[in-house]
Structure 1
Amino acid sequence: MLKFFSFSILFSALLVSCTTNSISYSKSKKIPVFTDEQLMDKVQQDALKYFWDFAEPHSMLGRERYHEDNIYPQNDKNIITTGGSGFGLMTILAGVDRNFIPRKEAVKRLTTMADFLAKADRHHGAWSHWINGETGKTVPFGKKDNGGDLVETAFLVQGILTVREYFKNGSPDEKILAKKMDDLWKGVEWNWYTKGGEKVLYWHWSPNYGWEMNFPLRGYDETLITYILAASSPTFPIDAETYYNGFTRNGQYLTAHKKYNLPLYVKHNGSEEYGGPLFWAQYSYLGLDPTGLSDKNISNYFDLNRNHVLIDYQYCVENPKKFKGYGPNYWGLSAGYTRNEDGSTGYTAHSPINDNGVINPTAALSSFPYTPKESMDFLRFIYTQKPQFIGSAGPYDATSINYGNWFTPRYLAIDQGTISPMIENYRTGLLWKLFMNAPEIKNGLKKLDFKSTKYK
């Protein structure tokens, strides 16, 4: 179990948990001044706790949510989320690589996860959005959403592949773990989700309702990684035409629109003026390295994502709705918990066109590779100036200075799980290197005419 001390006004937790660099103090006051490295260590350790200490105890995978206020929907404590668990796998790898958790303990736990996923319900190889962590049975996400969820499966498989790559040349136990992860990846029937050979992937399939949800994956949004993995599959692949016809709409998703003099490059679904919520620049890119990455339509995916984040940042600095607190140190709009008009907690996809004065810390913290200075300013501000926004697993999911320093003492796996991997990609490129050097991914990217200046 990870051990953390509570965060006090003197930031004693940071003093205890930071493992690199010595602590200095300001000359005017005896208040510790933390280095950037110490702050990144701290938030990565905190985010890891969600998937290490608060994991579902049978499967050891990530719970859909964790509420410090102990308010749970009925029977919710054993619901695991597939996508968030994929992000959790990558969070654990970062923890192993930074010696936050013992390697042998991580291998043991990851093996338990792999064994659980091998026995859990699958729908033509895809897992459902929610799974009962005790039984492995599908838990409906909605009435007709009681089968395979290809996008959540892709987020999970992104993590599965990085685990395989990390341990494949290790000890005997590590090689066994890598083989189990390899078998899980190869079992996903990506091409089934073209609904009989249509040149587009579909999000859902149900054993009871078939294709009735009828949600084709068309960009631009968070689902790019689904096409990358489907094209890369050695067992059930899609062809390049499915990607270009499906996700890129045969190039029709391109745009010449600019905001704050920054090109968007693509039409973000539902938010073509500003770009969508910031998780669209994160979920597909925990493993997929956008640096120097291009295809037939996009000359540099890093520029696309950086501009997306900078537009969000500039919007928050401009603050057209005059929300208290918004500015260079407090910004970032993404999906997550929110504050309803009556003061209760809800959920929404925050963006410049859906801004209600609530900041989800995952937005700025998971943008470190694109905006290191702006993200560090946010990290330093929230940990040193707003300790009430920090809980046992790091920054709470939703915060608002505008509403009297309101916050919800709750976490979501899908939000907490992107923080450490994206910070690690900024610091060392660990997850990017693992994913991009996987042989199947190299072949899949080549099939889709992607080119990378970093990975040959």
Structure 2
Amino acid sequence: MSRPAMSDKALDKLQRDTFGYFLKETNPANGLVPDNTRADAPCSITAVGLALAAYAVGAERGFIARTEAIRRTLTTLRFFRDSPQSEEPDATGYKGFYYHFLDMHSGQRTWKSELSTIDTTFLLAGALLAATYFDRETKEEREIRAVADALYRRADWQWAQNGALKVTHGWKPEGGFLKYRWEGYNEALLLYVLGLGSPTHPLPTESYTAWAKSYRWKKLYGHEFLYAGPLFVHQLSHVWIDFRGIQDDFMRERGIDYFENSRRATYVQQAYASRNPKKFKGYSESCWGITASDGPGPATRKVDGVERRFYDYRARSIPYGPDDGTIAPWAAVASLPFAPEIVLPALQHFNESFPEMTSKYGFKCSFNPTFADGKRSTRGWISQGYYGLDQGPIVLMIENYRSGFVWRLMRQCPYIVRGLRRAGFTNGWLDSHE
């Protein structure tokens, strides 16, 4: 029996409302976007990269005038071009990379955050998409292309290796490079593609080979796939790159591509929620989405005779945990291109069964039906904040599902093409690309 699915009209409203986060929360003076809607939240540079891509989608969809999208894009790119790049602890960036969190007004590093290689990756991806979209021969659009190109060329990927093959997570002026490196299948797929595509400080091809050697292939609930527990891992690189039909050495050996891998990961999520091994409230074949999200914790409390531990913001993961019953609707939306046949019914279920989950910017970050305090609500906990990291994939993956717009743009980016080829990708659209 088929379940009711979200209509095209409702999907359009969700995309438009979610776009409002970038329209209304961004600082118009510098283009910085807050990490979330809580008071005094800093800028997240990942949210900025997603905003740059969202402006292009918004202009194409008529959510925003092209002239306004140009103004916002130029303001943002000029800020990152002109902001301080140095070893000083209050700079905005260093070696072409940027600090994870910045003050929303001054743009200086805040929270003693790290110079983040992965968050800079998403920022640069947004800049490259803007450079591809704004292709007209006007003064403003030429400047967008020039500044985006300069930002990308400035990133020193070889420095970020710190003497080894795999790229470090980042660097801090107080202590140098972080001890962790990007390994195991994760969102750094895009990082390695951008690093390999650089015309100025490219990663060696051996870095990608070393990264792929740390992959784990698993079989869960009847699906064999390249494993990662949080669903966002299977989505964030796909926001930008069309992996349909193209394969690296690892995927050629397995006989699938990364797109199919993400489709399987989406079905694994649904299967886990349907089986609901930890007996959380709400989990079902139409209610799933376990990923990085806000949460009701930290707290420990007894629910229906079972002592449960709840977390705050955490990268939730299945089937091995952590999992505390928190569901993130954005995680389901971001799988829309992979498996619309199970995503659209899930979105309709959220709308019908949890209408309080929707507010001015579309779906709220997350909710937890198991965490009921007995005072304010018997319906459980609902996040009060919106996060830029959630909002961006909703806007962009709805668009990829509807038109493939972001994917088409990024297929035209020569740096993406070069990075994919140097990583060993062949077949599909890549072989026919000039």
Task: Report TM bin, short chain.
Answer: 0.7 to 0.9
Secondary structure at the counterpart of residue 263 of structure 1: strand
Look up the equivalent residue of 1:326 and give its one-letter code: Y
Q: Which residue of 2 aligns with 1:220?
A: 185
- Report the more deviating stretch, 50-59 or 103-112: 50-59
Instruction: Give the structure 2 partner of residue 9 of structure 1.
Output: none
Preserved contact between residue 270 and residue 286 of structure 2 (Cα < 8 Å) = no
Matched ranges for 1:224-303 at <5 A: 224-245=189-210, 247-249=211-213, 252-255=214-217, 257-264=218-225, 266=226, 268=227, 275-299=228-252, 300-303=257-260
C-alpha distance in 2 between matches for 1:51 and 1:226: 24
**Aligned partners of 1:195 and 1:436: how far apart in 2?**
30
- For residue 285 of structure 1, give the secondary structure of its aligned residue in structure 2: coil
Contact 1:119/1:136 (8 A) holds in 2? no
Aligned to 2:53: 90
Measured in 1, the distance between the counterparts of 2:55 and 2:10 equals 18
C-alpha separation between the residues in 2 aligned to 1:49 and 1:150?
A: 28
Contact 1:391/1:409 (8 A) holds in 2: no
Structure 2 gaps of 5+ residues are 84-91, 302-309, 372-378
Taking the TM superposition and a 5 Å limit, the aligned residue runs for 1:299-448 are 299=252, 300-340=257-297, 341=299, 346-352=312-318, 353-403=321-371, 404-448=379-423
Change (3 A) 1:318 1:194: same
Do the aligned residues in 1 keep the contact of 2:167 with 2:182 (CA within 8 Å)?
yes
Residue 333 of structure 1: how far off its partner (Å) = 0.4
Aligned length in residues: 398
The answer for the alignment partner of 1:30 in structure 2 is: none
322 and 34 in structure 1: CA distance in 2 versus 1, 3 angstrom threshold: closer
Quick one: distance in 2 between partners of 1:315 and 1:93? 36
TM-score using structure 1 length: 0.83
1:342 is displaced (CA, Å) by 5.6
1:231 deviates by 0.2
Q: Is the 8 A contact 2:6 2:348 kept in 1?
A: no
Question: Secondary structure of the equivalent of 1:411?
Answer: coil
Conserved 8 A contact 1:287-1:436: no
CA distance, structure 2, for counterparts of residue 328 and residue 92 of structure 1: 34
Report the 3-state secondary structure (helix = DSSP H, G, I; strand = E; otherwise coil) of the residue aligned with 1:454. helix
**What SS does the aligned partner of 2:68 have?**
helix
Deviation (angstroms), 1:49 = 0.9
* Rounded Cα–Cα distance in structure 2 between residues aligned with 1:438 and 1:95: 20
Match in the other structure for 2:155? 188
Q: Alpha-carbon deviations, 1:232-277, whole Å to 9, x = none?
A: 01111011111111x113xx5242x31111102x3x4xxxxxx310
CA distance in 2, matches of 1:186, 1:200: 20
**1:337, distance to aligned residue in structure 2 (A):** 0.3
Aligned partners of 2:96 and 2:156 also within 8 Å: yes
Q: Does 1:131 align with 2:102?
A: yes
Letter in 1 for 2:234: A
User: 1:394: Cα distance to partner?
Assistant: 1.0
Q: Distance in 1 between matches of 2:31 and 2:293?
A: 23
Using the alignment, how far apart are the partners of 1:154 and 1:360 within structure 2?
Answer: 24
2-structure distance, mates of 1:124, 1:374: 43
d(CA) in 2 for partners of 1:153, 1:288: 17
> In 2, are the aligned partners of 1:282 and 1:367 still within 8 Å (CA)?
yes
Asked if the contact 1:129/1:141 (under 8 Å) is kept, the reply is no
- Further displaced range: 86-95 or 307-316: 86-95
* Pairing partner for 1:119 from 52, 65, 82: 82
1:103-129 per-position Cα deviation (integer Å, ceiling 9, x unaligned): 101101111111111122221110110
Q: Which runs of 4+ in 1 moved over 6 A?
A: none
Distance 1:419 1:362 in 2: 6
1:298 positional shift: 1.2
1:208: how far off? 2.9
Within 2, Cα distance between the matches of 1:453 and 1:94? 25
The answer as to 2:117 corresponding to 1:150 is: yes
CA-based RMSD: 1.9
CA distance in 2, matches of 1:357, 1:141: 31
Identity over aligned residues, as a percent?
A: 29
